[in-house]
Amino acid sequence: MAEAFTAGVKPGGLTDDTQIRILLCYLIKTAGPLTRDTLQGALLQEQLVNYFEFADALAEVQKQGLVTCTDEQYSITDKGASVASTLAHDLPRTVRESAIRAVMQIQSWRHKAASNRAHVEEKNGKYVVWCNIGDLGSDVFQLQLTMPDKLTAEMTKNMFIAHGSDIYSKLMDMLTQPGTDDDRPPEALL
């Protein structure tokens, strides 16, 4: 049975609390300010640390004055920046790179999800995916898609969040570019 402090940590991950504190300082200095959810999501997704060790280390770096937390955002202090600069290279390069990559992936997804919004609703056994693109506080594009099952609906939602801006751009190009005679209604219908 795995030890409590190594459960969920892949080989090469961190189990030493000092290394975890250094990694937190490094991440916040490099990509900060960061929320707890972003830090936790990145490190656990990559299986670099155990949840309990992460929680203890984050509380400890705050207690030691290495980071501050304002409006749920962790920022590095001068003392924490010094720790990160001095000791970050004591951490395995693969751990640092994996952690930064995961943080950037989460931040990128949240940025996309802020403008390319989508959610799934179940209606009469069908799943409706509501897709919206917002700009300047209002929706500029709305799309409703009905999917046969929840898995397809969730996949569609995630793909819209990832690619909604591209979809909108391509649709606008198709709708606003000069067309051919075949694209126009016959004169008799006008």
Q: What is the pLDDT of residue 6?
A: 67
Residue 74 — φ and ψ, nearest 5°?
A: -90, 130
Q: Looking at residue 175, what is its pLDDT?
A: 80
pLDDT at 144: 94
pLDDT in tens, the chain (190 residues): 345 556 777 777 777 888 999 999 999 999 889 999 999 998 998 888 988 889 999 999 999 999 999 999 999 999 999 988 888 888 888 888 989 999 998 888 888 877 889 999 998 889 999 999 887 677 888 999 999 999 999 999 999 988 888 888 888 888 888 777 777 777 766 6
Q: Are residues 28 and 83 in the same domain?
A: yes
The pLDDT value given to residue 32: 80
Domain shared by 79 and 33, yes or no:
yes
Name every residue whose Cβ is closer than 8 Å to that of residue 21 and which is 6 or more positions away in sequence: 57, 60, 61, 64, 66, 83
**Exposure of 121 by Cβ count < 10 A (0-12 exposed, 13-18 middle, 19+ buried)?**
exposed
Considering the domain boundaries, does residue 8 fall inside one?
no
Number of domains in the chain: 2
Residue 64 maps to a domain: yes
Statement to judge: residues 122 and 67 lie in one domain:
no
The letter for the amino acid at 83 is V
The dihedrals phi and psi of 38, each to the nearest 5 degrees, come to -65, -45
Q: What is the CATH number of the domain that holds 104?
A: 1.10.460.10
Task: Please report the pLDDT score of residue 74 as a whole number.
Answer: 93
